[in-house]
A and B are shown apart, each in its own frame.
Chain A
């Protein structure tokens, strides 16, 4: 990763999924500043507060689901680098996520390589 410090927001209602994702991100970008959100509403609020370089977002979450959060974040920032990480990777969900403004989709269970590849492509345009 480049010298500039990355800010990354990880949003999943599962504390375990957040930890696993953060571990993989730290391995790829050790200097990154990573923040958490546990539902879609928190993700929208924290995005507006932090303006992160990348946001990883689950779909199935309480309070506000991931797709609604993607729409609201995209309306706020049309250049938002939103990556969906979900086990519900149906064609319909994928289409909904992309139409709402997501840039990429990672199917759970994810591998470290998948996350690293997507993160690099979003940050460096590789």
Chain B
């Protein structure tokens, strides 16, 4: 989940534009990490050393590793271990942003370091659940939203479910506190019990068709009852999995109400509501959530 939140961090810092980020995200599936980006990430080379080796590569037909070793920036064994290293997604995203000219290697080195420092995560090469929770905590903190631990757990699962069932090519934008919201088309599900949740997903009809196609693994071409059912199923599945987690981890029993559609109204929301837009290449999905 580092890639999604690193993207959100870059937007928040106005280091890149939405279009640049979107272009870099779309290239993620085809991209392969470069040795220089990885060496910089592991603090084996500085950004200027990487730039120098890249410049030499334009004049000499040699591999990056060979030049770096000949210049004394890396040893042969360091090159070997870098070639075997696992590539974190957020690093690939950063590299893509350098490739399309949105960032320089120096910018990327600085922003990665600042991001790592703000999230207080030492090793970003390995992702796990605790680190995801920490990322989401930081994400809300940077956005000035104070949320409780259950909300963080809910959001952690929601982002993981988006990755698992819809796709990892998204960036969450900063959450905004809300009292009311003019809906376009949204699906809603309420959860009651030891905590109350109102969960909504609002999006345009074209985005809904694409979201549903990905979730249901079907090729929808028009906005129909299958599209609506797909969105409701996603919400129901996510809330169902959250209720299982809360039951197992906190002995908290939650009751799900059937999901339903809402459209064309001004929604009056309970206290502690926020809207969190999530940008996919096919459009923006607004998550409207209330915890009380």
Contact = CB atoms under 8 A, between A and B. Distances in A.
Interface string A101-126: 00000001100000000000000000
Contacts of B230: 16
Nearest to A14: B229
B216 interface: yes
Given A60-B256, A88-B256, A108 B229 contact: no
B184 interface: no
A20 B215 CA distance: 12
B122 to A, nearest CB: 34
B244 A88 contact: yes
A1 interface: no
Contacts of B239: 87
A50 interface: no
Given A60-B256, A88-B256, A90-B253, A16 B226 contact: yes
Nearest to A17: B233
Given A14-B232, A15-B226, A87 B241 contact: yes
B247 interface: yes
B136 to A, nearest CB: 22
Contacts of A92: 247, 253
B240 A15 contact: no
B95 interface: no
Given A13-B258, A15-B226, A60-B258, A90 B232 contact: no
Nearest to B189: A60
Contacts of A19: 226
Interface in A49-103: 60-62, 86-92
B243 interface: yes
A90 B255 CA distance: 10
Contact residues of B: prevailing secondary structure: helix
Interface in B231-280: 232-233, 236-237, 239-241, 243-244, 247-248, 253, 256-258, 260
A90 B243 contact: yes
A88 B259 CA distance: 13
Interface residues of B, number: 22
Contacts of A91: 247-248
Given A16-B216, A60-B258, A88 B243 contact: yes
A14 B244 contact: no
Contacts of A108: 237, 240
Contacts of B243: 88, 90
A100 B233 CA distance: 25
A92 B241 CA distance: 14
B30 interface: no
Contacts of B247: 90-92
A16 B257 contact: no
Most buried by A among B225, B236, B241, B248: B236
Contacts of A62: 258, 260
Nearest to A13: B258
B240 A60 contact: yes
A88 B226 CA distance: 22
A57 to B, nearest CB: 14
Most buried by B among A13, A17, A88: A88
B257 A60 contact: yes
A61 to B, nearest CB: 6
A89 B237 contact: no
Contacts of B241: 87
12 contacts: A14-B229, A14-B236, A20-B216, A62-B258, A86-B240, A87-B236, A87-B241, A87-B244, A88-B243, A90-B244, A91-B247, A91-B248
Interface of B: 165, 216, 225-226, 229-230, 232-233, 236-237, 239-241, 243-244, 247-248, 253, 256-258, 260
Interface of A: 13-17, 19-20, 60-62, 86-92, 108-109
Shortest Cβ-Cβ A-B pairs, 6 listed: A87-B240, A90-B247, A16-B229, A88-B240, A62-B258, A60-B256
